[in-house]
Structure 1
Amino acid sequence: MSNTFPAASGHRHNRYLLMRHGHSQANQQGLIIGSPERGLAGFGLSAIGREQLDGLLADWCWATPGRVLHSDFRRTTETAERIARHFGLWLETEPRLRERHFGAFEGEGDDRYAEVWARDADDPAHRHAGVEAVVDVAARMAGLVDDLEQRHAGETILLVSHGDPLQILLTALEGRELSRHRDRAPLAPASITVL
């Protein structure tokens, strides 16, 4: 399977703000929470995450979003709710923005990410221990952007997701080798990247 993803060609019809959720209880506890069974109902924002969002909204320096789409995990939902409430917007739940599923590593310490990422660097199609392959994450994330490009034009759309999926999306849209998604600086909690 190819180690690259076709780069987006030409001009986009919309502006996208890619946001990683605020600091979460999973971050605080140092746990991998990538399964819907645990992430939908638990592990919301930490007190640090709520403070991050208060500061972000007080100093907002990006275009005002007209739409907010978010992963249905609790930490991303709580992040998106605060943004939407601030701007008076409706929320749109989008499962394609979910966290990457980390298979057998679910619930383990976040030091185990390094093992997954080392395998990603060798083979972005690996599914070792039930981990969702980088190529599959890239396809679902880029597929969402493609769908939004078909349905909307001239909008600023905020996509609230998770660190790994967003880094994989950025790598895919740049047309870089998917095995190198960890080469870019990690996206900090509550950070926004303009696409």
Structure 2
Amino acid sequence: MLDTHARKYVQPMIGKTADQLLKLNLTANQVTVAAFVIGVSSGVFVYFGMPIVAVLVLWISGFLDAVDGSMARKTESTPFGTVMDVTFDRLVEISVILGLAFLYPDVMWALLLLSVSIIFSMTVFLTVGAVSEKSGMKSFYYQAGLAERTEGFILFTFMILFPTFLLYTTLVFLFVEIITGMQRMLEAKQVLSNPKKDGGHNNG
């Protein structure tokens, strides 16, 4: 939700950073890899009891993840770059969940359910995107939802910084992901039943 509706407020900063990195002759794919390496370290910092550092690297990773998209649009995006971007995003999320699960094993069951809900929501998202192209839509259909990446990062931040409430925050995250997945399923039924009604759209 925030990725879709609040992006315009931070896009100027994202665009300027993209321009600076392009001047340094960096490619979008290189920044994608850097964002992944930085982001996946978050789970390591969580496990070793460094929550502030974990949150900091998580948000730096998220910012670079937005920057690489702007860089790709300013130059030339590649299909493999998209594959890396989506895959690395999930691995960063998994690293945080694993870090929390190993540090707080008593809440591992809730974190496992959260992982399942993320798989559910992303499966719907990616499948609709793939099927929509075969249905004649102009581009990859981006489904906005209650929980997009920024909401996930906000909830991860609460989970990392306030472990006393970890179980409750995880259950809230789980609920939000399930609602998002169901929301996308219902939207997919409408969109794919009437492919000419909506030409598809990209995020940003």
Same fold, TM exceeding 0.5?
no
- Determine which structure has the larger helix proportion and give its number: 2
Larger radius of gyration: 2
TM-score after normalising by structure 1: 0.28
Higher relative contact order, structure no. (Cα contacts within 8 Å, ≥ 6 residues apart): 1
Query: How does the TM-score come out when normalised to structure 2?
Result: 0.27
More strand by percentage? 1
